[in-house]
Structure 1
Amino acid sequence: MMMIFGAGYSGQAIAAHARAAGFAVAGTSRSADRLESLQQQHIIPLLFDGMRLSAELEAAMAQATHLVQSIAPGSAGDPLLMLTGGDLRRYFPKLCWAAYLSTVGVYGDHGGAWVDEETPCRPVSRRSVERVAAETGWCDAGKRADVPVAVLRLSGIYGPGRNGFVNLSQGTARRLVKPGQVFNRIRVEDIGAASLFLSARQVSGIFNITDDEPAPPQDVVSEAARLMGIDAPAEQAFETAELTPMARSFYGENKRVSNRKIRNLGFQFRYPEYRASLGDLWTSGRWSG
């Protein structure tokens, strides 16, 4: 059985690929209101508030052979590591592989230069600092339990229901221009496929899960508008835009993220660049989710 802590957008994509591969899948949510949705996706629904492990939760953990931790850490640390004391063998006696979902934000700002898994982390935001600590905690826990742990550093996630088409249709899309700024992206289905690829091989280590083409964010909005047959929003200088502190912090980090490491293992991204991916979402009608 595969157990996914934090069966949200990415977790559900991983669950879909796992079920297609023959796994029974259990997934947690903080909200009781979302348990029915998980059940409809044939995911065994479990409530987890990040504060305690229920008897039902511990029983499922004891049966898990594969684990995915998708819950973001907080200032106190990774909730699952804290509640288990990092003792994977005690709480997951059947475990043979685990994954921790992290972010390319751990690299910090590199002025638009290319980074890979060997690039030293120099996180800027508090949330990225917390991610680096969680990555280290999971790798250490895996070593103590003799369980391979893969750290998946994800770039900007999009896919059905979360994309430029949705933003344009809701009138929330903006084309903010900051000269030289680029971002990588990742289609959510490729997160699911990469997770199953690594789990099947019981691979450990750090992997960038990202597309091939870091690109200016305004170009992605323009392409979505072109496919919709509508005018793109007017360009707006980043300096004059009203943004939340979190949104503004993303623009403080500029880098090009390489995915060569996982491709060298034989993995092929189904959606390696945004143009074909957006075209697929639009023509299939799946953009709306």
Structure 2
Amino acid sequence: MIATRKLRRARVLIAGCGDVGLRCVPLLAHRAAAPRVIALSSQPARAAELRAAGTTPLIGNLDERRSLRRLAGLASTVLHLAPPQKNGDDDSRTRALIAALSAQRRSVARGATSAVARQRAWRGWFRATFKSSMRAGVKMHAKAIKRPSIVPDRVPGTAARPRQIRLIYASTSGVYGDCGGAWIDETRPVRPDNARAKRRVSAERQLRGATQRGLLSASIVRIPGIYAGNRLPLARLQKGTPALAPAEDVYTNHIHADDLAAILVLAIRRARPQRVVHASDDSDLRMGDYFDLVADAFGLPRAPRVSREQAETQLEPMMLSFMRESRRLQNTRLRDEMRYALRYPSIHDFLRDFLRDFRSEANAQFTITSVPVESPAE
């Protein structure tokens, strides 16, 4: 009985189970009908870590399609958190994932998935039944074989149609490019300024196309800069890496990793198909001001301010690319459609709670990690 229940459990596949993916696992486990969580990883060395986190590790590489054959029919829900490959304008990893997930669905579609196909299958079954009866010497008339008034999804001799795959894609706010610091919502046309953002746009378009073809039902969550206790720019501040002068600084957007994980899990049930949602907090900050808040909270020197011309010669290309884009994300859909209440509405709320807990633990150790400010998954 217990084994049967385990086999019947719903399954959720996490493709790209990094820090945010691991934060999603306990949230999935606490749902009313806790699903079995399968973590796709290209690194066999991570199997023990993923298993300890409560997932079933599955080794597969989105850059090697042959390694993804086991994904067909494996899970009815997918969290696609994997970033694109590092070159080109097309996201080949998302293309490979869609192909692997829809392989079984396409084979079933060849049997009878549409109303027209089911009609044809019933006619074929009728002819075969009539002919076999005639060969057996039984006199039958076509009218004697009554056909159901409602054609069922499953035709005799064909496989039952699988449940449509629900997919949530973690995209990036970088698809908008530079907006001059304007407030923007999800209807803003995409205008990617770099290859990373172009690959994200490619992934979104592929998933929309797959949804239109009925292969899956995808929703898109666009994510700004992710922060958490282990994802603060402390190492950057200690190195004295400069920020832009206030007059030339750009607006940036943020989301706490725990809030993001909760949003992704909630999107499975509440995000509309083909819909875009901004996973962004309520903050209204320039990038340099964000660095100053973190520096002041931890007693570190503030980042020196330089002109954009000076920054071009002192900073790495990736950081410079973030400093060329200025925008402020509206999160109305997050509040009204998904009905999500942010745990940390702003960086101020997080720093207040984090430092209070941090100082209460005399022997606490803090891991300093430097990550790009607007790099949700790359």
**If the length of structure 2 is used for normalisation, what is the TM-score?**
0.69
> Contact 2:12–2:37 at 8 Å: present in 1 too?
yes
Q: State percent identity of aligned pairs.
A: 25
- Partner residue of 1:20? 30
* Alpha-carbon separation, structure 1, partners of 2:366 and 2:57: 26
| 1:264-288 deviation digits (Å, cap 9, x = unpaired) | 1211111121111122233233964
Structure 1 residues 221 and 83: CA distance shift in structure 2, 3 A = closer
Structure 1 residues 254 and 80: CA distance shift in structure 2, 3 A = closer
Q: Give the drift of 1:236.
A: 3.6
* Alpha-carbon separation, structure 2, partners of 1:201 and 1:224: 33
> Contact 2:167–2:216 at 8 Å: present in 1 too?
yes
Larger mean Cα displacement after TM superposition, 72-81 or 34-43: 72-81
- 1:186-225 to structure 2, matched below 5 A, reads 186-201=255-270, 203-204=272-273, 205-225=275-295
* Alpha-carbon separation, structure 1, partners of 2:259 and 2:330: 15
Aligned length: 286
Whichever residue aligns with residue 183 of structure 2, its letter is W
- Partner residue of 1:262? 334
Structure 1 residues 239 and 17: CA distance shift in structure 2, 3 A = farther
- Partner residue of 1:243? 315
The answer as to 2:234 corresponding to 1:234 is no
* Alpha-carbon separation, structure 2, partners of 1:44 and 1:283: 35
Whichever residue aligns with residue 240 of structure 1, its letter is Q
* Alpha-carbon separation, structure 2, partners of 1:229 and 1:83: 45
- Partner residue of 1:177? 244
Gap runs ≥5 in structure 1: none
- Partner residue of 2:54? 42
| 1:84-136 deviation digits (Å, cap 9, x = unpaired) | 53763726944441111110000111111111110111111011111111101
The answer as to 2:72 corresponding to 1:72 is no
Q: Give the drift of 1:254.
A: 0.8
Answer with 1 or 2: which has the greater Rg.
2
* Alpha-carbon separation, structure 1, partners of 2:300 and 2:270: 45
Whichever residue aligns with residue 244 of structure 2, its letter is V
Structure 1 residues 17 and 238: CA distance shift in structure 2, 3 A = farther
> Contact 1:116–1:258 at 8 Å: present in 2 too?
yes
Q: Give the drift of 1:218.
A: 1.9
Superposed CA RMSD: 2.5
Whichever residue aligns with residue 88 of structure 1, its letter is S
| 1:38-66 deviation digits (Å, cap 9, x = unpaired) | 112112112222233567x5445523121
* Alpha-carbon separation, structure 1, partners of 2:233 and 2:215: 42
* Alpha-carbon separation, structure 1, partners of 2:357 and 2:72: 38
- 1:115-154 to structure 2, matched below 5 A, reads 115-145=184-214, 147-154=216-223
The answer as to 2:148 corresponding to 1:81 is no
Larger mean Cα displacement after TM superposition, 77-86 or 13-22: 77-86
* Alpha-carbon separation, structure 1, partners of 2:342 and 2:105: 34
Structure 1 residues 141 and 267: CA distance shift in structure 2, 3 A = same
- Partner residue of 2:16? 6
Q: Give the drift of 1:68.
A: 1.1
Gap runs ≥5 in structure 2: 1-10, 107-161, 359-364, 369-378
* Alpha-carbon separation, structure 2, partners of 1:255 and 1:263: 19
Secondary structure (helix, strand or coil) at the match of 1:145 reads coil
Whichever residue aligns with residue 132 of structure 1, its letter is V
Whichever residue aligns with residue 203 of structure 1, its letter is R
Structure 1 residues 39 and 190: CA distance shift in structure 2, 3 A = same
> Contact 1:52–1:83 at 8 Å: present in 2 too?
no
Secondary structure (helix, strand or coil) at the match of 2:243 reads strand
| 1:158-185 deviation digits (Å, cap 9, x = unpaired) | 11311134644xx246350242411001
- Partner residue of 1:157? 226
- Partner residue of 2:362? none
